[in-house]
Amino acid sequence: MKQQASHTTSTTTRAPRFAARPGWLSYFSLGGWAVVVVAIVSTVLVVLPEDRAESDVTLWTFAPPHARMYEPILEGWERDGSQGSVGIETLSLPALERRMLGGFMSGVPVADLIEAERRVASRAFGGPVESVGFLDLTDRLREDGLLDAINESSFGPWTYRSRVFGLPHDVHPVMLCYRADLVEAAGIDVAEIETWDDFARIMRPLMADNDGDGAPDRYLISFWPTYIDNIEPLILQAGDGLFDDDDMVSFATETNARVIATMATWVAGPDRIAADVPEFSAAGNKLKLDGYVVAALMPDWLSNIWRQQLPELSGKLKLMPLPAWEPGGRRTSVWGGTMLGIPKSAENPDELWQYAKRLYLSPELSRSLYTEGDIISPVRAHWDDPIYDAPDEFYGGQPKGRMYIDLAPDVPRRTSSPFNKMALERVQDAAHPAQPRGGGRPGPHRCGTRGSRPRTAAGGRGRGPRAHDAQRHRDREARGGPAMSDTRHGRFAPYLFLAPFLGVFAVFVAYPLAQSVVLSTRQMFGPTASVYVGMDNFRFLLQDPLFHKAVRNTLVFTAGSIFIQLPVALGLALLLDRPGLRGRNALRLVFFAPQLVGLVFLAVMASVIFQKRTGVLNQILEEVLGNRLGWVLQSGPWLDYPWLESQVMWALILSALWMYAGLNMVYFLAALQNVDRSLREAASIDGAGVVRRFFAVTLPAITPVAGFVVLLSVVGSLQLFELPYILLNAGGGPDNQGLTIVTYLYQSGFETGDLGYASAIGWVLAVMLAVFTLLQRFVLRERNA
Amino acid sequence: MPTARHKSVLSTLGAYAVLLPLAVVTLVPFVWLVTSAFKSREQFFGSMFLPRGEGVLGVDWAALTLENFTRLFSEIAIGRALLNSLFLSSVTALLATLCCAAGGYALAMYKFKGRGICLGIVLAALIVPAPLLIAPGYQVLFKLGLLDTYTGLILPGIAPAFGVFLFRQSVLQSVPPELLEAGRLDGCGEMGIFARVVLPLLRPMTGAFLMITFLAMWNNFIGPQIVLQSPDKQPLSVAIAQLKGVYYEDYGLMMAGTLVSVAPVAVLFLLLQRDFVSGLTLGAVK
CA distances from A270 to A202, A265, A317 (A): 16, 8, 28
- Radius of gyration for the alpha carbons in chain B, expressed in angstroms and rounded: 24
The whole-angstrom separation of Cα A491 and Cα A464 is 33
Neighbours of A30 (CB within 10 A): 12
Overall number of domains in chain A: 3
The whole-angstrom separation of Cα B261 and Cα A578 is 31
The whole-angstrom separation of Cα B29 and Cα A653 is 17
Torsions phi, psi of A683, nearest 5? -65, -35
End-to-end distance of chain A based on CA atoms, in angstroms? Answer: 12
Kindly state the average pLDDT of the residues A650-666.
89
Top-confidence range, A133-147, A486-500, B8-22:
A133-147
Given an 8 Å threshold on Cβ–Cβ distance, is A604 in contact with B251?
yes
Q: Which of A76-80, A239-243, A598-602, B102-106 has the lowest mean pLDDT?
A: A598-602
Residue A600 shares a structural domain with residue A683: yes
Instruction: Pick B244's closest partner by Cβ from A484, A490, A600.
Output: A600
Kindly state the average pLDDT of the residues B50-62.
72
Q: Are B165 and B104 in contact (CB under 8 A)?
A: yes
| Residue A510 domain flag | no
Last residue of a domain, one of A377, A408, A439: A408
pLDDT digits (tens, 9 = 90+) for A296-323: 999 999 999 899 888 889 999 999 999 9
Residue A348 shares a structural domain with residue A288: no
The pLDDT of residue A282 is above 60: yes
pLDDT score recorded for residue A3: 40
Q: Is A336 helix (H, G, I), strand (E, B) or coil?
A: coil
The whole-angstrom separation of Cα A378 and Cα A758 is 37
Length reported for chain B: 286
The whole-angstrom separation of Cα A106 and Cα A528 is 9
The whole-angstrom separation of Cα B246 and Cα B248 is 6
Q: Is A588 on the interface with B (CB under 8 A)?
A: yes
ipTM for this prediction: 0.84
Residue A158 shares a structural domain with residue A231: no
The pLDDT of residue B44 is above 80: no
The pLDDT of residue A785 is above 50: no
The pLDDT of residue A63 is above 70: yes
- Judging contacts by C-beta atoms under 8 Å, the chain B residues touching residue A502 are 118, 121
pLDDT classification of A459: cutoffs 50, 70, 90: very low
pLDDT classification of B147: cutoffs 50, 70, 90: confident
The pLDDT of residue A618 is above 60: yes
| Residue A425 domain flag | no
Task: Show Cβ contacts of residue A436 under 8 Å, excluding neighbours closer than 6 positions.
Answer: none
Find the largest Cα–Cα distance for chain A. 97
pLDDT classification of A407: cutoffs 50, 70, 90: very high
Q: Are A367 and A298 in contact (CB under 8 A)?
A: no
The whole-angstrom separation of Cα A660 and Cα A602 is 12
Nearest to A170 by CA among A117, A110, A207, A98: A117
| Residue A534 domain flag | no
Residue A183 shares a structural domain with residue A247: yes
Instruction: Give contacts of B 164-223 with A, CB under 8 A.
Output: 164-166, 169-170, 172-174, 176-186, 188-191, 194-197, 199-200, 203-208, 210-212, 214-215, 218-219, 221-222
The whole-angstrom separation of Cα B181 and Cα A366 is 77
For CA atoms B16, B19, B21, B27, the dihedral sign is negative
Residue A717 shares a structural domain with residue A600: yes
Closest chain B CA to residue A471? B120
Q: Are A612 and A639 in contact (CB under 8 A)?
A: yes
Neighbours of A246 (CB within 10 A): 11
Given an 8 Å threshold on Cβ–Cβ distance, is A600 in contact with B229?
no
- Judging contacts by C-beta atoms under 8 Å, the chain B residues touching residue A673 are 204, 276-282
Sheet of strand A113-117, all strands in order from the earlier edge strand to the far edge: A86-90, A57-61, A113-117, A338-341, A167-168
pLDDT classification of A592: cutoffs 50, 70, 90: confident
Closest chain A CA to residue B92? A39
Given an 8 Å threshold on Cβ–Cβ distance, is B120 in contact with A471?
yes
- Judging contacts by C-beta atoms under 8 Å, the chain A residues touching residue B48 are 614, 616
Residue A580 shares a structural domain with residue A680: yes
Torsions phi, psi of A174, nearest 5? -110, 135
Residue A172 backbone zone (phi > 0: left; psi -120 to 50: alpha; other: beta): left
Given an 8 Å threshold on Cβ–Cβ distance, is A504 in contact with B162?
no
pLDDT score recorded for residue B244: 67
Residue A97 shares a structural domain with residue A200: no
pLDDT score recorded for residue B151: 92
| Residue A204 domain flag | yes
pLDDT digits (tens, 9 = 90+) for B204-251: 888 888 988 999 999 888 788 778 877 788 898 888 877 766 555 677
Residue A204 shares a structural domain with residue A248: yes
Closest chain B CA to residue A22? B196
The pLDDT of residue A477 is above 50: no
Q: Are A169 and A360 in contact (CB under 8 A)?
A: yes
Kindly state the average pLDDT of the residues A476-481.
39
Residue A159 shares a structural domain with residue A181: no
Which amino acid is it at B237? S
The whole-angstrom separation of Cα B231 and Cα B249 is 20
pLDDT digits (tens, 9 = 90+) for A538-574: 999 999 999 999 999 999 999 999 999 999 999 999 8
- Judging contacts by C-beta atoms under 8 Å, the chain A residues touching residue B248 are 63-65, 305
pLDDT classification of A460: cutoffs 50, 70, 90: very low
Q: Is B140 on the interface with A (CB under 8 A)?
A: yes
- Judging contacts by C-beta atoms under 8 Å, the chain A residues touching residue B86 are 38, 42
Q: pLDDT higher for A7 or A624? A: A624
Report the alpha-carbon angle A129-B135-A88, nearest 5. 80
The whole-angstrom separation of Cα B224 and Cα A476 is 39
Nearest to B209 by CA among B169, B175, B182: B169
Neighbours of A307 (CB within 10 A): 17
Q: Are B133 and A535 in contact (CB under 8 A)?
A: no
Which amino acid is it at A101? L
The two beta strands, A522-525 and A529-532, are antiparallel
| Residue A13 domain flag | no
pLDDT classification of A15: cutoffs 50, 70, 90: very low
Kindly state the average pLDDT of the residues B265-275.
84
Kindly state the average pLDDT of the residues A119-141.
89
Q: Are B245 and A93 in contact (CB under 8 A)?
A: yes
Q: How far is B235 from chain A (nearest CA, A)?
A: 12
- Percent of chain A exceeding pLDDT 90 equals 35
Q: How far is A230 from chain B (nearest CA, A)?
A: 14
Instruction: Give contacts of A 741-770 with B, CB under 8 A.
Output: 741-742, 745-746, 749-750, 755, 758-759, 762, 765-766, 769-770
pLDDT classification of B78: cutoffs 50, 70, 90: confident
Nearest to A331 by CA among A428, A439, A195, A205: A195
Q: Are A102 and B140 in contact (CB under 8 A)?
A: no
Suggest the residue from A21, A287, A310, A508 to mutate for an interface test with chain B (most B CBs closer than 10 A).
Answer: A508
The pLDDT of residue B271 is above 80: yes
What range defines the domain where residue A348 resides? 57-169+337-408
Residue A568 shares a structural domain with residue A680: yes
Q: Which of A94-98, A412-416, A772-776, B42-46 has the lowest mean pLDDT?
A: B42-46
Report the alpha-carbon angle A404-A409-A415, nearest 5. 105
The pLDDT of residue A109 is above 60: yes
Mean of the per-residue pLDDT values of chain A: 81
- Judging contacts by C-beta atoms under 8 Å, the chain A residues touching residue B128 are 509, 513, 766
Task: Show Cβ contacts of residue A441 under 8 Å, excluding neighbours closer than 6 positions.
Answer: none
The whole-angstrom separation of Cα A714 and Cα A689 is 31
CA distances from A432 to A11, A234, A437 (A): 68, 15, 10
Residue A311 shares a structural domain with residue A348: no
- Judging contacts by C-beta atoms under 8 Å, the chain A residues touching residue B123 are 471, 773
The pLDDT of residue A465 is above 60: no
Given an 8 Å threshold on Cβ–Cβ distance, is A106 in contact with B41?
no
Q: Are A416 and A122 in contact (CB under 8 A)?
A: yes
Top-confidence range, A68-82, A215-229, A327-341, B29-43:
A327-341
The kind and range of the H/E element at A124 are none
The two beta strands, A174-179 and A293-299, are antiparallel
Given an 8 Å threshold on Cβ–Cβ distance, is B254 in contact with A604?
yes
The two beta strands, A163-164 and A317-321, are unpaired
Kindly state the average pLDDT of the residues A225-254.
87
The pLDDT of residue A14 is above 60: no
Closest chain A CA to residue B76? A64
Instruction: Give contacts of A 468-487 with B, CB under 8 A.
Output: 468, 471-472, 475-476, 478-487
| CB under 8 A, 24+ apart: contacts of A575-579 | A575/B15, A575/B18, A575/B19, A576/A665, A576/A669, A576/B19, A576/B277, A577/A669, A577/A672, A577/B277, A578/B11, A578/B12, A578/B15, A579/A677
| Residue A158 domain flag | yes
pLDDT score recorded for residue B192: 86
pLDDT classification of A44: cutoffs 50, 70, 90: confident
- Judging contacts by C-beta atoms under 8 Å, the chain B residues touching residue A10 are 286
pLDDT score recorded for residue A554: 94
Instruction: Pick B102's closest partner by Cβ from A8, A50, A497.
Output: A497
pLDDT score recorded for residue A450: 34
The kind and range of the H/E element at B169 are helix B161-174
DSSP state of A53: P
- CA A269 vs. chain centroid, Å, equals 31
Suggest the residue from B8, B243, B247 to mutate for an interface test with chain A (most A CBs closer than 10 A).
Answer: B247
The pLDDT of residue A492 is above 60: yes
| Residue A634 domain flag | yes
Q: Are B179 and A15 in contact (CB under 8 A)?
A: yes
**Residues linked to residue A334 through DSSP beta bridges, in sequence order:** A173
The whole-angstrom separation of Cα A114 and Cα A535 is 37
pLDDT score recorded for residue B246: 55
pLDDT score recorded for residue B2: 53
Closest chain A CA to residue B176? A4
In this prediction the pTM is 0.75
What SS3 string covers B39-60?
CCHHHHCCCCCCCECCCHHHEC
* Burial (Cβ within 10 Å: 0-12, 13-18, ≥19) of residue A72: exposed
CATH number at residue A118: 3.40.190.10
Neighbours of A785 (CB within 10 A): 5
Residue A208 shares a structural domain with residue A314: yes
Closest chain B CA to residue A579? B12
Q: How far is A43 from chain B (nearest CA, A)?
A: 6
Closest chain A CA to residue B164? A501
Q: pLDDT higher for A13 or A42? A: A42
Q: Is B254 on the interface with A (CB under 8 A)?
A: yes
Which amino acid is it at B74? S
Given an 8 Å threshold on Cβ–Cβ distance, is A32 in contact with B207?
yes
Closest chain A CA to residue B263? A596
Last residue of a domain, one of A362, A381, A408: A408
pLDDT score recorded for residue A466: 35
| Residue A8 domain flag | no
Neighbours of B21 (CB within 10 A): 10
**Residues linked to residue A530 through DSSP beta bridges, in sequence order:** A524
The whole-angstrom separation of Cα A117 and Cα A97 is 9
pLDDT score recorded for residue A747: 84
Last residue of a domain, one of A261, A288, A321: A321
